[in-house]
Amino acid sequence: MKRAALVVTIVFALLAFGCGFAGTTVALDVSRPAVSGSSATVQFVVGDGDSSTEIATKLEKAGLIRNAMIFRLFARYKHLDSGLRKGTYNLSPGMTMDQIIATLLSAPINEQIVALVPPGQRVTQYPKFFSQLPKFDANNFAKIAQTGKLLDSAQTPLWTKYWFVQKPSSQVRYALEGYLFPDTYSFDKTADETQVVETMLENFGAHLCPGPDSNPNAYIDTLADCKSHAAKVGNTDIFSGLEKAYGTKNDVSALHTALTLAALTSREIAHLSDAPGVTNVYYTRYMAILGKTNNTGATWSLGSDPSAQYALDNKTPPKDGHWWKELPAAGANVATTDPYNTDVVTNPPTALPPGPIAAPVWAEIAAAANPSISQYFYFVSNCSGKILYATTLEQNNANNPAHCP
């Protein structure tokens, strides 16, 4: 797409060479939005039988493009007439001509299917959220999520296509666990499992390094570009926070660790405002286990019951689709050989699971990307969902409600 726009721009520039300054200005209209940086959204209606000539005139009148004539020529090059479908489209004056045409060649919003993926879900729960997509295959989705590889002839590993996805170790249950960002999505009716996976991964990347509203994915292609436009977490950027927190310049590895902690937090909290506090407890335990801070809480594992639930469901996947079953006993007594169970105390002690157990939202990721050592080593949720913190196990036991209605 970018190459095509560049070719057309060069052609117009060459033509404009003999036409003076005015011609050059017109040529630049191909790559310039009508209003640079605009985040405004306009619902643009394509009527039955509208041609690219009529579309160009309507776009110019709506303030979405600078020059209808240039748009008509570019639209002809991009075969817009053969791909136009009547319906309503969300356009912005902050979009380039190329982006507007790409949008007009996609499905109109009134023909799209909305899928809401809530946070804190494991990838085995995702297929139900896309069940309305006629081309979505749940079994194929599961294969991609588990292996991290597309089902094309090359079996393309997604960690080679998206730098921020870590190549899974042999212990990882699902390669894409935690990376498929929870959000509300709109898909064309023709979208299949590959498009779903790639759209969710690109959304995650756009959170790491947000592009302009007209092109949110502008900086996700390389680590260098992403680091140059990194999201802010606290008083720093996400990559500086990750490198400091986890003592490594390997940003992909540090991000994987942060996602793992964020996923544990996601399963523990009812309110996003509790994300920093709970994450800091997990981080403090982790640092104590590694011997990087004083273990004043006398803890020898992360002690995450959700990780034990994940391990238990790995051992006996539910046939009724109800994941996250209640633990029948203490987490240290179930699925004891599963590396995801951080309630199990081993020698050396269990630290992190091999990877995330669920998909966290951005507030939880941001907390795990810029954590701090806490005075607390324990927390528990009371019956109303409030998090109570403690420095010792005895205090935590006192905070723990006997039962909730």
Give pLDDT tens digits for 192-220.
999 999 999 999 999 999 998 778 999 99
- Here the tokens at position 350 are 């269990």
pLDDT > 70: percent of the chain: 91
Residue type at position 112? Q
Read off φ and ψ for residue 165, nearest 5 degrees. Answer: -90, 125
Region of 159 on the Ramachandran plot (φ > 0 left; ψ -120 to 50 alpha; else beta): alpha
CA distance 208 to 232: 9
What's the pLDDT band for 20 if we cut at 50, 70, 90?
very low
Q: Please state the rounded mean pLDDT for residues 289-310.
A: 90
At 216-247, the pLDDT tens digits run 999 999 999 999 999 999 999 999 999 999 99
CA distance 93 to 251: 35
Q: Please state the rounded mean pLDDT for residues 380-398.
A: 92
Q: Looking up tokens 């002839």, which residue turns up?
A: 153
What's the pLDDT band for 299 if we cut at 50, 70, 90?
confident
CA distance 180 to 50: 38
Which range of 160-174, 342-356, 390-404 scores highest in mean pLDDT? It is: 160-174
Task: Give me the pLDDT at residue 342, please.
Answer: 93
Q: Which residues of 257-276 are buried (b: 16+ CB within 10 A; e: fewer)?
A: bbbbbbbbbbbbbeeeebbb
CA distance 165 to 158: 7
Task: Give me the pLDDT at residue 18, please.
Answer: 46
As beta bridge partners, residue 113 has 187
Task: Give me the pLDDT at residue 297, please.
Answer: 78
Judged against a pLDDT cut of 60, whether residue 184 lies above it is answered with: yes
Q: Which residues of 197-219 are buried (b: 16+ CB within 10 A; e: fewer)?
A: bbbbbebbbbbbbbebebebeeb
Residue whose C-alpha is closest to residue 84's, from 66, 59, 103, 68? 103
Task: Give me the pLDDT at residue 348, please.
Answer: 63
Task: Give me the pLDDT at residue 195, please.
Answer: 97
Task: Give me the pLDDT at residue 82, please.
Answer: 87
Task: Give me the pLDDT at residue 36, please.
Answer: 85
What's the pLDDT band for 31 if we cut at 50, 70, 90?
confident
CA distance 168 to 176: 9
- Here the tokens at position 171 are 């212990």
Residue whose C-alpha is closest to residue 182's, from 116, 261, 274, 279? 116
The domains located in the chain, with CATH, are: 2-107 (3.30.1490.480), 113-228 (no CATH), 248-399 (no CATH)
Measured CA to CA in angstroms, residue 65 lies from 4, 177, 330 at distances of: 18, 41, 63
Angle at 179 between CA 124 and CA 373, to 5 degrees: 115
At 330-384, the pLDDT tens digits run 888 889 899 999 998 766 666 899 999 999 999 999 999 999 999 999 999 988 8
Judged against a pLDDT cut of 70, whether residue 159 lies above it is answered with: yes
Answer whether 148's CB lies under 8 Å from 159's CB.
Answer: yes
Read off φ and ψ for residue 365, nearest 5 degrees. Answer: -65, -45
How far is C-alpha 41 from the geometric centre of its chain's CA atoms?
23
Radius of gyration of the chain (CA): 25
Q: Look up residue 129 and give its DSSP letter.
A: G
- Here the tokens at position 248 are 């490594």
| Average pLDDT score over the chain | 89
Task: Give me the pLDDT at residue 22, please.
Answer: 45
Helix (H) or strand (E) holding 322: none
Judged against a pLDDT cut of 90, whether residue 249 lies above it is answered with: yes
Task: Give me the pLDDT at residue 29, please.
Answer: 65
Helices and strands, number each (H, E), in the chain:
16, 8
* Secondary structure class of 295 (helix, strand, coil): coil
Task: Give me the pLDDT at residue 292, please.
Answer: 92
- Here the tokens at position 128 are 């139900």
Task: Give me the pLDDT at residue 347, please.
Answer: 61
pTM more than 0.85: no
CA distance 248 to 242: 8
CA distance 355 to 173: 8
What's the pLDDT band for 19 if we cut at 50, 70, 90?
very low
